[in-house]
A and B are shown apart, each in its own frame.
Chain A
Amino acid sequence: MASEPEVAVTANAVLSVRDLRTHFLTRDGAVRAVDGVSFDVKRGETLCIVGESGCGKSVSALSIMRLIPENVGRSMAGSVRLEGTELTTLSERQMRAIRGNRISMIFQEPMTSLNPVLTVGAQIAESLRIHQRLPQRAAWERAVEMLAMVRIADPARRAADYPHQLSGGMRQRVMIAIALACNPQVLIADEPTTALDVTIQAQILNLMLELKQRLSTAIVLITHDLGVVAETAQRAIVMYAGRKVEEAPVAELFRNPLHPYTRGLINSIPRRTAAGRRTNIRGRLQEISGIVPSLREEIVGCAFAPRCSFAVERCSRERPALDPHAPEHLAACWEVARVAAAVR
């Protein structure tokens, strides 16, 4: 397997992931959910990982957090360093001390991540008592402060509520409060607003960005929604079939996408732009033909080649290197020059 060129470790990276691989061993062979992914997260930045279902973005996050149970037949490789601490070799006990403390995670469905029989105040306080060894009283007071920080009205009373008494948006606020309680360096948010309505999504995204500024926490935001990427991130990574295919600053990514898949994704969303507003004439959306490849077979060459209109013979033979093509702009495609020259 072609190894990727070692990406120079960015000086101020809080989290650096190198050649992360997570394979699930099933009866019918290995599923290569994440197949060699590397990236850095800088202090206080928002990095989006974007891709469609099954591209490995969530599995990457769970692998970084070491939250994939061992008994599902997984095999993992690669390195994950959080401010110099290598996470992959820590014991489970050491990892527990870091998880929820220096790096935390929020999920798409807050109801299933909250304990239904504990009050939300108790759940925030628990994290503080474990990691910061605060006494009960102080932890509770801090929990109420956290609820106020995530803008829950009447936090002292709400702290005594159970999860089912809160709305979806409020539960996600509670999750954020728990995740940020110990002031982590990195917050991984896996589709945090996908289950929420747009008006609530706007509230939650605003809140996350504002708290990021205040606490200088780096955010890794995993999403399938390019709109969310455009509105929140500084940099973005595009994943396809378990691999990173492109990485760029967000403005650059949307202005000048270099990987055909990224380009297809951007063109296939119906867009709402003030200038190009359609009246009654409806144009066709650009489709990406075909379907995502099975991750059960070893993919030779570029995983996107069978669906790609730029593909040449070399693409199905040789895995394209993830090369820089512009400052901070990496793309894994043999035909970058042709893609860049083509009219969008």
Chain B
Amino acid sequence: MSAPLLRVTGLKKHFPVHRGLPSRVVGQVYAVDGVSFDIARGETLCLVGESGCGKSTVAKTVMRLLAPTAGTVALDGVDISRMGEAQLRAHRRQMQIVFQDPYSSLNPYLSAGAIVSEPLTNFELASGQELEQRVASLFERVGLRVDAVKKYPHEFSGGQRQRLGIARALAVKPSLIVADEPVSALDVSVQAQVLNLLIDLQEEFGLAYLFVSHDLAVVEHIGHRVAVMYLGRIVELAGNADLFGAALHPYSEALLAAAPVPDPELRRERMVLQGDVPSPMAPPPGCHFHTRCPYARERCRTETPPLQEVKPAHWVACHLRPVGGPFGQLTR
């Protein structure tokens, strides 16, 4: 088997917390605390979790917009986690990013055409007439009118701006697009347009996506595999059908139960988690989830469960789910 397109191993990103005068480091925010996963070419891996679970930090660290505290990020077999900015630049072409906020992710002072052509100019991939042609075909491809190149971002609607962001990411023909909540700021009808576009582009260009989202319905729709994160760690990683059909981690189960389903005939007893997510500055010992887990045992409070492959291609970090074990309902 050849190397995966992206291999993330033991990735950690801690943010020091400064306080006082002169400022001293008084603690760390353990935003990402040991995360590993692979993405194959043409595959969509979704990172799902609640705010503060570190999913966006993973995305930014993979993109090297943040420097990792520990761990490696290998793109096509090359470790980019420690590279200097000059060396890194050559590898940036392979991965691009699409952001959540269609407003702040486009420079308001640049025309749409300038925004989309910038990556091409930066990497000296095209100039003059060829540049214009490539920008025009990108506009067409993402469903924008070609004569919109002269417009400025504020003249577009939210969905159109997101298409611009996608065109910018697509410009340098990357093999991986990191999409950080790309449809969360959009209305549902527009959200559908953008999701369809992302799926079409994936099929056409064989793109791989690292798709970060908090919306389970979107994740189920677009993901091939799904990683569920809680407080900086992956608690479950499985194929789409496995995760949505037979989630094994209690947190995944709770997350699935909590998401409202747009079908009144499916009103069901939900498993409602009690309490709040603990602070990532002082995550609880052992399994991070034990403070809210209805099935927690003594062992969960002291010992960190490793992420294990309990079924083929189904990884879970839970003491109550033994490798190859029978996976019945957990009991309190």
Contacts and interface: CB of A to CB of B under 8 A. Distances in A.
A complexed with B: yes
Interface of A: 52-53, 167, 169-170, 197-203, 205-206, 224-231, 250-251, 254-255, 264-266, 268-274, 277-280, 282, 284-289, 291-292
B221 A278 contact: yes
B218 A199 contact: no
B88 interface: no
Q: Which 5 residue pairs spanning A and B have beta carbons closest together?
A: A227-B260, A270-B221, A197-B50, A288-B189, A268-B192
Nearest to B156: A291
Given A277-B241, A282-B199, A285-B192, A199 B258 contact: yes
Given A197-B51, A282-B221, A272 B264 contact: no
B224 A280 contact: yes
A261 B265 CA distance: 21
B264 A251 contact: yes
B219 to A, nearest CB: 9
A269 B50 contact: no
Contacts of A264: 189
Contacts of B260: 201-202, 205, 225, 227-228, 230-231
B50 A265 contact: no
Interface string B31-62: 00000000000000000001100000000000
Interface string B309-324: 0000000000000000
26 contacts: A52-B187, A169-B276, A170-B276, A197-B51, A197-B214, A199-B255, A202-B257, A203-B274, A225-B260, A227-B259, A227-B262, A228-B260, A230-B261, A231-B261, A254-B264, A254-B265, A255-B265, A268-B191, A270-B222, A271-B217, A273-B261, A273-B263, A273-B266, A277-B220, A280-B240, A282-B199
B193 interface: yes
Q: Is the interface of B mostly helix, strand, loop or mixed?
A: helix
Given A225-B260, A272-B217, A251 B277 contact: no
A224 B215 CA distance: 14
Interface of B: 50-51, 157, 159-160, 187-193, 195-196, 199, 214, 216-218, 220-222, 224, 239-241, 244-245, 254-267, 270, 272-274, 276-277
B188 A269 contact: yes
Scoring A206, A251, A271 by chain B CB atoms within 10 A of each residue's CB, the highest score goes to A271
A198 B258 contact: yes
A291 B159 contact: yes
A326 to B, nearest CB: 16
A288 B256 CA distance: 27
Nearest to B260: A227
Contact of B263 (A53, A206, A254, A280): A254
Contacts of A270: 192, 195, 217-218, 220-222
Contacts of B244: 272, 277
A286 B192 contact: yes
A146 B265 CA distance: 33
A250 B264 contact: yes
Scoring B193, B224, B245, B254 by chain A CB atoms within 10 A of each residue's CB, the highest score goes to B193
A289 B224 CA distance: 27
A277 B273 CA distance: 25
A175 B17 CA distance: 30
A69 to B, nearest CB: 25
A246 to B, nearest CB: 15
Nearest to A250: B264
A82 B240 CA distance: 49
A284 B194 CA distance: 11
B191 A282 contact: no
Nearest to A264: B189
A250 B267 CA distance: 12
B189 A268 contact: yes
B80 to A, nearest CB: 30
B224 A197 contact: no
Contacts of B220: 270, 272, 277-278
